Structure 1
């Protein structure tokens, strides 16, 4: 059983706030409560965010035959078709009603690093089909990773660590950071029948930065063991990120900080999102 009627309220962290201790206090409370919070004033312009979403939409509007040329490879780079992923197999009757595109840190094929899991060259649409697409996505990857590192510094202080703890090469200094472009088709979710835009899951990495359009769909469950489970909508935030913690950070903090179940439940509207999933070097 479950219920899902209300919207949750999340703390807002401004990266422009000169009072770092206020940011630490707000973030720490959010991490103890739900592991979700908003990040504002991050330095990525709205014009560029709009361009990223416009370029993402251009890709997903391509004919299926074009998208399938870039099907996700063994390095987890490229296109994932609708229903290809299933995040909550115990409760889903089909896969997620979303399609995606995965972009990682670019490592040339002849680089020794490319032999490691999660490293290697990305797959890119051709310049003839989508000019500027690679340039825009690589720039956004860099900018979002910069924001992730800024947030990680506040997290470090909230854990009573040195501010630069996560800047080390083995942490986010040389991280596995994956950009995920997602498109949810105009389909109505029905949790009682196992139909979701994205099934319930928690992220396994360190932190995730999520930018969405203005379509409401993300839900979180602060207590996964509650009966019934209570699901609350997270409102989109214009010009900001929704940030959540992953399982890795929950484990490192001895379960003090929360990696919370979340899912996407839609009312029939199309929805686009772009997220940066950050994990430490492995």
Structure 2
């Protein structure tokens, strides 16, 4: 994990001119600059004070899946600038996906669906697995002024693995529809991975999603989401 954070920092320490050469493409691969995203436009005066880098499942251009959304070759920094960077991120992406699949099997067993339920081709057998490296600027969030490292949001994926450094910054709201919302700080534990789930609950022909809303103030994080 330390190696992944080290390589992540090396990328974000590059001059902005170099990072902009790898700007995110239409299939969500590559670099996203500070203020590029705005997760909570109702409460934010402008974009998030973070920069990021998106990596997904590597699919060659000549593969039939390359026509689908979210499947495409990744965008990689030059080996002259960051030797070993691609190999490190590909290894972490692959290992994080295996962890997510193991968690999904436990969920399936708990729901009495059979351990391999989520391994089906249309689920985690052929997932949309996104690895995001995120670097939050040093500006401290000030909700009274609409300033956030990352605005309040619920993760899109079925399973999100969140590895953080030892800088405090993550807050969660367990009941996002509560009035007023209650936000709790999450103590940073270096080397630990937080897990958030977005489960589809089906009961008496009624479906709804349940998730935890999160907000970030400042820190480096490694964010891996799996659909």
TM-score after normalising by structure 1: 0.77
Q: Is the 2:136–2:217 Cα contact (8 Å) retained in structure 1? A: no
Q: Is the 2:165–2:191 Cα contact (8 Å) retained in structure 1? A: no
State the match for 2:139 in structure 1. 187
Matched, 1:225 2:177: yes
Q: Deviations over 1:122-180 (max 9, x none)?
A: 00000000000000000000000000001111111222211111111211011110000
State the match for 1:4 in structure 2. none
SS of residue matched to 1:73: coil
**Distance in 1 of aligned mates of 2:171 and 2:40:** 14
**Distance in 1 of aligned mates of 2:59 and 2:18:** 24
Q: Is the 1:208–1:276 Cα contact (8 Å) retained in structure 2? A: yes
SS of residue matched to 2:99: helix
**Distance in 2 of aligned mates of 1:69 and 1:89:** 27
Instruction: Give 5+ residue unaligned stretches, structure 2.
Output: none
**Distance in 1 of aligned mates of 2:35 and 2:60:** 30
SS of residue matched to 2:215: strand
**Distance in 2 of aligned mates of 1:235 and 1:136:** 27
Q: Is the 2:105–2:116 Cα contact (8 Å) retained in structure 1? A: yes
Q: Deviations over 1:200-243 (max 9, x none)?
A: 01012211000000111111111122222110011223322100
Higher helix share: 1
Following superposition, the deviation at residue 91 of structure 1 comes to: 0.5
**Distance in 1 of aligned mates of 2:154 and 2:200:** 11
How many matched pairs? 224
SS of residue matched to 1:172: coil
Following superposition, the deviation at residue 252 of structure 1 comes to: 5.6
State the match for 1:12 in structure 2. none
The equivalences for 1:151-170 within 5 A come to 151-170=103-122
**Distance in 1 of aligned mates of 2:170 and 2:65:** 35
State the match for 1:57 in structure 2. 9
Matched, 1:150 2:150: no
1:107 to 59, 68, 71: 59
Higher relative contact order (CA 8 A, sep 6+): 1
Q: Deviations over 1:225-266 (max 9, x none)?
A: 2222110011223322100013xx2356744x7311111124
